[in-house]
Structure 1
Amino acid sequence: MVAVGATLSAPNSGATVARRATERPGDVISATAYTPRLVAGVPMSARAWRITYVSRTATGDPTRVTGSVIVPDEPWNGEGARPLLGFAVGTQGLADRCAASRQLRLGTEYEAPVIAQAIQRGWAVAVTDYPGLGTPGDHTYVVHQANGRAVLDSMRAARRLPAADIAAHGPAAIYGFSEGGGAAGGAIELQPTYAPDIPLKGAFVGAAPSDFRAVLDHVDGTPLVFLAGYAAVGFEQAYPGIGFDRYLTPLGRRMLDKVRDTCIVDAIALGPTQPHDLDAYFTADPFSIPSIRRRLAQNSLGHTAPQTAVLVGGGTNDEVIPHAVVKKLYRDYCRLGVNAHFRAVPLTEHLSGGALISPAAMRFLAARFAGERLPRAADC
């Protein structure tokens, strides 16, 4: 990189970010070493760096994102180069303190046990914090066009971090569940055109919010309706002027002010104390507003074929992402000719489904890294 060039305004924040004229997506701006923890007081057998790196917004503008690069302490003893896993975390929250890089350092990251499975296999892991978690502006919650880019660029950054010693052209895969499933789906659909330099061996897309209409209907009338507020914040950040703020009730405005300062545990605790119906917060159905409907459609999944094998899955009793939505994404990928596979975890809700499916998802990716043959699924 060369001397400092122009400055750019960060959307919805009023902040300016110094840019370098030759910065590319994935360039590392800064890196600080830290010890990643499985839980408080229990370090992983790995070294890590909190990085700031260059990415692109949902509309293609340069931005900066934070994240982590985690490398096992043990040398890689497998064939070829050490694999790299792009890990897209599930919903963390909207406040900066919720960022995965911070929680991994403190030992409070609920997906640390899943990340540890990858570390135990000897893989390096790139974990994006997503735009707006640790950087100016709101978090682009479930905006797959933004978060998918952040995942891919975190993988580029991991390869460009000299201390991590990750091969520039080594094998790579992507893993994500919940919001992370949406980010993973966005990443693999974007990869052929946005990041052809990161050919993928495989991907796991778990419980992805791939159909916003169905997900909204599923949480309406429940304590999880606050997730509509999370999404409104995220889409307003990604697409300034989209219109969510014009259709908020007074209660809706107060609710958004509250959830902006929550991590997911805080928001879940808040949910039962608030009205459960969407119309308490919005004066109109968001899908009746053309500007909102168009952007939601642009961030749905299953319309572009990933160029990698994909495992899709989730829990059958998921209270956040309807199982029918997960199954539909699988069928959409099959329709597009993708070598897609499906795994359901019976009788599980969202959180337990994510935990219980993770060993199978890791085995699927390990087989892809090993080059094992993958016949097409009989129903795909």
Structure 2
Amino acid sequence: MKFVFGRAQGHRLGLRAGATVLALLVLAVPAAGQAAADPVREPGTVVADKALPVAAEIGGAATGSRQLTYWTEGPTGAPALSTGAVYLPKGTAPAGGWPVVSWAHGTNGVGDDCAPSHGFDVTSLTRDYVSAWLTQGYAVVASDFVGLGTEGVHAYLHGRSEGRAVIDMVRAARKVTPELSPRWVAVGHSQGGHAAMFAAHEATRYAPELDYRGAVATGTPANLELLFPLGGPGFPNLGLNGLTAFAGYVIAGLQVARPDLPIDEYLTPRGRELVETAKSMCFLPLHKYAAPIGVGELFSRPLGDERIRSALRDYLAVPTTGYDRPVFIGQGLRDQTVPFPLSTKLAADMQLAGQPVTYRSYDAFHGSSVFEALPDTTAFVRSLFGTA
């Protein structure tokens, strides 16, 4: 494993919670095992193929863009539909087809209006980043994840279903796009970094017909299953950007994935109202709406009992073993949304378990870290495809 820290290694990072978070994380326990799904619909089967909405286009670097609706696995393990976009580079595909980057997006929200391939929040950041891969000769496929643009509420940060949506997006795209190679990598940032880690963990076992090469995850919200059980009345403000909004999304997703869990019993009236609002409000307006509300105001009782702990492990915990292809984890040292101790501990646990992980840190904030890492991730992905 390679640990390389950026120029701000010895600087004050302005993360008031950093030391506290790191101290809490040393109490980590192994993630619980996950049961295999038994879908009745073939994962990756395309049920709709149509032109991509203009608002979801990413600009001049792409051609042949389209929106697919396809079968994958939902958060309860049942078959579910997801939508996603396919972007092709300009020019003629090489022998064997375009190598594929399966891009996993960051936090948009959990309601249908927040789906990227339907045109929500395809920002200049997204356009520039996806275009950077297209101009290098990679096709980019981009799942919305189950519940974003399809039936139900999206189970935000439900690792298993998000990871499988990333994998099945490659399957679906190849069924209708003959120019695509079976060779592919998973690339994700923020929420998408979490999804990319889950895709990486099971890609070769779940989709052995594809030629999975490795994964890139930046700004990855790992080890949250260790933090959420500390929540309860009076939980302090940790100074993390958007924490209350993120908590609302996770609780809404937990309601979807674990309908047997009486999570409402742990919420105050204000907490229940915020969670219901989160189900339809996309991230930027929810962030503004939730800014005056402390996380401690959401809960009427602590989340530390074993029933909730177990549910959160199953829902959130990024595996630290079982990777059979290289993984690159990148992190901004100035990140106040996903503080660096979270991903640093993930990488350290993987290294201790003998996993093929490379960790790099950057003098960057959450959003900028994905671009600061791009020279390194570009070289890393080229090495995976043997074109370095």
> How many residue pairs were aligned?
342
SS at match of 1:111: helix
Query: Which of 54, 74, 78 is the aligned partner of 1:57?
Result: 74
Asked if 1:158 is matched to 2:166, the reply is no
Asked if 1:357 is matched to 2:369, the reply is no
Asked if 1:76 is matched to 2:93, the reply is yes
**Which residue in 1 is equivalent to 2:251?**
232
Return 85-94 or 196-205, whichever deviates more: 196-205
SS at match of 2:318: coil
- Report if the CA contact (8 A) 1:88-1:177 is conserved: yes
Asked if 1:252 is matched to 2:268, the reply is no
Query: CA deviation digits over 1:267-289, x for unaligned, max 9?
Result: 222232x222x221011232x13
**Which residue in 1 is equivalent to 2:158?**
143
Runs of 4+ residues over 6 Å off in structure 1: 35-40
Residue identity matched to 1:50? Q
Return 190-199 or 115-124, whichever deviates more: 190-199
Query: Which of 119, 130, 150 is the aligned partner of 1:103?
Result: 119
Query: CA deviation digits over 1:265-321, x for unaligned, max 9?
Result: 21222232x222x221011232x1333311221231133321111111110121122
**Which residue in 1 is equivalent to 2:343?**
326
- Report if the CA contact (8 A) 1:251-1:280 is conserved: yes
Query: Which of 141, 149, 152 is the aligned partner of 1:126?
Result: 141
Query: Which of 34, 41, 44 is the aligned partner of 1:26?
Result: 44
The alpha-carbon distance between structure 1 residues 112 and 291, as it changes in their structure 2 partners (threshold 3 A), is farther
Gaps of 5+ in 1: 1-20, 373-380
Say which structure, 1 or 2, has more relative contact order (CA 8 Å, 6+ apart): 2
Return 246-255 or 296-305, whichever deviates more: 296-305
The alpha-carbon distance between structure 1 residues 371 and 108, as it changes in their structure 2 partners (threshold 3 A), is closer
- Report if the CA contact (8 A) 1:171-1:200 is conserved: yes
Shift of 1:59: 3.6
**Which residue in 2 is equivalent to 1:269?**
288
**Which residue in 2 is equivalent to 1:242?**
261
Matches of 1:220 and 1:28, distance apart in 2:
46
**Which residue in 2 is equivalent to 1:113?**
128
Instruction: Output the TM-score relative to the length of structure 2.
Output: 0.81
**Which residue in 2 is equivalent to 1:198?**
210
The alpha-carbon distance between structure 1 residues 359 and 285, as it changes in their structure 2 partners (threshold 3 A), is farther
- Report if the CA contact (8 A) 2:102-2:187 is conserved: yes
- Report if the CA contact (8 A) 1:37-1:112 is conserved: no
Asked if 1:210 is matched to 2:210, the reply is no
Matches of 2:179 and 2:264, distance apart in 1:
43
Query: CA deviation digits over 1:230-252, x for unaligned, max 9?
Result: 10111211221223222110000
Return 327-336 or 170-179, whichever deviates more: 327-336
Instruction: Output the TM-score relative to the length of structure 1.
Output: 0.83
The alpha-carbon distance between structure 1 residues 98 and 204, as it changes in their structure 2 partners (threshold 3 A), is same
Asked if 1:303 is matched to 2:316, the reply is no
- Report if the CA contact (8 A) 2:53-2:119 is conserved: no
Residue identity matched to 1:196? P
Matches of 2:293 and 2:53, distance apart in 1:
41
Shift of 1:191: 1.8
Gaps of 5+ in 2: 1-38
Query: Which of 189, 194, 199 is the aligned partner of 2:201?
Result: 189
